[in-house]
Amino acid sequence: MADTPMSPGDRKADLAALPPDPHRLPPKGSWFGPDAERHLLDRPKFCPMCAADVELGGGISTEYWAADLRVFMTWCGDCGWFGEITRFDIVTITEEEH
């Protein structure tokens, strides 16, 4: 069976039948586009307390910035855990001599 290209009208009808995309990104080239993409890729997916899927349980993770820190204020809809998760690109720590 050969694949036939979809006409623009058929494609529009197909897309209209889909539910709205809850993670719609801003248009390409918009000033906030790269930040929105990084947020969707980096936000916590699972609760640090009960490991439930944050999104499926009705929770939310909102990102804010403090200087160069990216902080994800997260609430778990399953267990009610509410706190901040900070993502680091690099950490320098000291370690005792062995």
The residues binding Zn ion (CB under 5 A) are: 47, 49-50, 52, 76, 78-79, 81
Minimal distance, residue 76 CB to Zn ion, in Å: 3
Question: CA-CA distance, 2 to 84, in Å (whole number)?
Answer: 51
Query: Going by C-beta distance under 8 Å and a sequence separation of 6 or more, which residues neighbour residue 78?
Result: 47, 50, 52, 57, 59
Identify which of residues 25 and 79 has a Cβ nearer to Zn ion in the complex. Answer: 79
Amino acid of residue 65? W
Minimal distance, residue 54 CB to Zn ion, in Å: 8
Radius of gyration in angstroms for the set of CA atoms belonging to the chain, rounded to a whole number: 20
Identify which of residues 36 and 81 has a Cβ nearer to Zn ion in the complex. Answer: 81
Identify which of residues 63 and 76 has a Cβ nearer to Zn ion in the complex. Answer: 76
Do the Cβ atoms of 76 and 49 come closer than 8 Å? yes
